A and B are shown apart, each in its own frame.
Chain A
Amino acid sequence: MALLDVRDLRVVFHRRGTEPFPAVDGVTFSVEPGQTIGLVGESGCGKSVTSLAIMGLLPKRGATVTGQVMFEDTDLLKLSDRQLRDRRGRDIGMIFQDPLSSLNPVIPIGLQVTEVLQRHRGLRGKAAKTEAEGLLKSVGIPDPNRRLGEYPHQLSGGMRQRALIAIALACRPRLLIADEPTTALDVTIQAQILALLRQLVEGTGTALIMITHDLGVVAGLCDQVNVLYAGKVVETADRHRLFGEPRHPYTHGLLGSVPRLDSPRGEPLAAISGSVNDNIPWTSGCAFAPRCSNAIDQCVEQTPALEDDGLRLLRCFNPVAPETAASQEVPA
């Protein structure tokens, strides 16, 4: 059975004077223990809002969350704040993008780690401190004993992200949500953090939801990849299949627009035209249609459904043909 099963999750933001805005529009996916799921997309596609909705971190006012988020047998969306607080940090850990702004600047690292241990595992005093030291050591922070007494500003970016991971892992959660965990870091530090996450998933069977815009990170880490566009999943597949043979024109376009370190130079990148501002609402067709090189009349008349062909889920009327996809050529 899936550890986390997100079904038809919808998040609509309301603001006075504007139309309700559906940031997440019917997202469905599930995560098994020991599995890494990727949520990929550009800014504004709803990937972070999805993670906040799962954790119940969206404001009650102004945001309407509907659908189901089943964590084993409980629907997280139906829990009270109090019940949720018991779960957060214990069953589900979260790593945020910017470690400096998600750590409290006026509280020593040690206290921020032991806080979780106290709340969920009832550890006190010396026991908590020893445990915290062990946690910092396990995420590769040298001289953890000294670090416990230091403040976030005294740590480097990579160290802070490690500290944040240590806090997320303090109660050995069964599910870890990482929201752009390496975006603020340099590549060499990113490599260290990704290696750490990989080790975690393999070593402890923790399920991981990886939210990122970086296709390279996804390619090496995730078992299954969900590509989001304007709040909807447009393509879901195993990473080998998704990268080897992208069928959705958006996925295909994204892969074409990333300069690769190992591709021959001198060829212009196959950019996707326009920007997200050109989107049309999903209710009147495919949101990506105005930017799509494969668009046909049907795309602006009907909303495509997410269809399962046994190998992948795809939301497109006119997908990129497999052979074109394989030869990495984009129709003009």
Chain B
Amino acid sequence: MTALPVSPAPAPSPAGEPLVDVRDLKVHFPIRRGVLIDRIAGYVYAVDGVSLQVRRGETYGLVGESGCGKTTFGRGLLRLVEPTGGSAMFDGTELRSLKGEQLRRMRRRMQMIFQDPLSSLDPRQSIDSILSEGLKAHDLYGSQETAGKKLRETLTAVGLPASALRKYPHEFSGGQRQRIGIARALILQPDLIVADEPVSALDVSVQAQVINLLDDLQVEFGLTYLVIAHDLAVVRHISDRVGVMYLGGLVEEASSDDLYADPLHPYTRALMSAVPVPDPEVEDARQQILLAGDLPSPANPPAGCRFHTRCPWKQETRCDTERPELRELTPGHRVACHWAEDVKAGKIRPHEVSVELVRPSGAGPGDGRVTETVAEVAGTLPPKS
């Protein structure tokens, strides 16, 4: 592979320094009601106070199930949706205070790879045009000749032939399209790439190719990744550190090996035990923690610990009243659970969670997309605070 010409980057912060430093980020979407009078009936607490750091050169994996806010977090960080609270520092600059042109210039350094490679590529643009659009937007195009060279080098780096330049997205297979998506992000020589479900739309054999490619590119170009995915096995494979999200909050964060060897939060444990492993011996031997019910609605999240309604380790006190802070239990291993030590030591045994149906107040029919995810089953749902 040929290396891209390295641009004179502004003195980079040394490796290991946080490149991204997010404090208490919040993204709340208003639920609007009314025809004539625009009234805000409540909020969907999609991301509700997430703090995390991504160090330069590392891969940070963010996992969680659908509706936990992981995608919104990624978009909020890049200000593709406007955060409603907290701060997001990128290489020493507060992203939330940037405006217009400043923000646009900063965007070159933080690129995104999307989940569905077909719908994120314009079907009427040739690959040449897709890749050079970013260069032109950031005044990096230069002459036809140098740009052409850059395009070809980038394509080689992602494993596509130079002949791809004249083709259109529909002429490629899913895996190749995702490579184009990666090339589009890569050509601007970003510091950070936010990859939102980069491989979940791909077949298993192609998925492995793309994962390996992301790995290689990171080594070659010294990229920093924030990978957002629901597949715990994929995230563990590519990430140095992993954060687990549940209903808008980070519940556990640890190095990828630690998280697997010693999951501390009850939700992580359940999640881990639910991932099928392609090995009959392991499958036959393992003990699953089956969670009762579904994710409660982020418009009406449970008070206290967000997970207490489904938690097999739930205790009488604190869980339903006090929201646990993320605290460091062992070096580098943060967990948001009041009883993490006791759960770890085995002092608290898991118990049955009764599946009981509660219709939360204020969530009648007609709530539209909110009712769809409204908590069905899960202990008792406290009234909206």
Q: Which residues does A use to contact B, with CB under 8 Å?
A: 42-43, 140, 142-143, 146, 153-159, 186-192, 194-195, 213-220, 239-240, 243-244, 253-262, 265, 268-273, 275-277
Contacts and interface: CB of A to CB of B under 8 A. Distances in A.
B276 interface: yes
Contacts of B271: 187-188
B107 to A, nearest CB: 31
Given A186-B65, A216-B275, 17 more contacts: A42-B205, A43-B203, A142-B377, A143-B357, A156-B376, A159-B376, A188-B291, A191-B291, A214-B276, A215-B204, A215-B278, A216-B276, A257-B205, A262-B279, A270-B208, A275-B175, A277-B173
Contact of A254 (B175, B204, B293): B204
Contact of A257 (B204, B273, B283): B204
A156 B376 CA distance: 8
Contact of A261 (B205, B275, B288, B357): B275
Which secondary structure characterizes the binding site on chain B?
Answer: helix
A304 to B, nearest CB: 19
A219 to B, nearest CB: 5
B315 interface: no
B106 interface: no
Most buried by B among A146, A191, A261, A277: A261
A154 B371 contact: yes
A220 B237 contact: no
A318 B187 CA distance: 42
A239 B282 CA distance: 12
Interface of B: 65-66, 173-176, 203-209, 211-212, 215, 230, 232-234, 236-238, 256-257, 260, 270-284, 288, 290-291, 293-295, 355-357, 365, 371-373, 376-377
Given A192-B290, A271-B208, A243 B237 contact: no
Top 4 A-B pairs, shortest CB-CB distance: A216-B276, A257-B208, A220-B283, A271-B208
A195 B292 CA distance: 12
Contact of A260 (B173, B277, B365): B277
Contacts of B206: 271, 275
A226 to B, nearest CB: 15
Given A142-B376, A188-B270, A265-B237, A243 B208 contact: no
Contacts of A268: 212, 215
Contact of B274 (A190, A262, A271): A190
A263 to B, nearest CB: 8
Contacts of A265: 236-237, 256-257
A261 B211 contact: no
Given A142-B357, A257-B205, A218 B65 contact: no
B376 A217 contact: no
A217 B274 CA distance: 10
B195 to A, nearest CB: 15
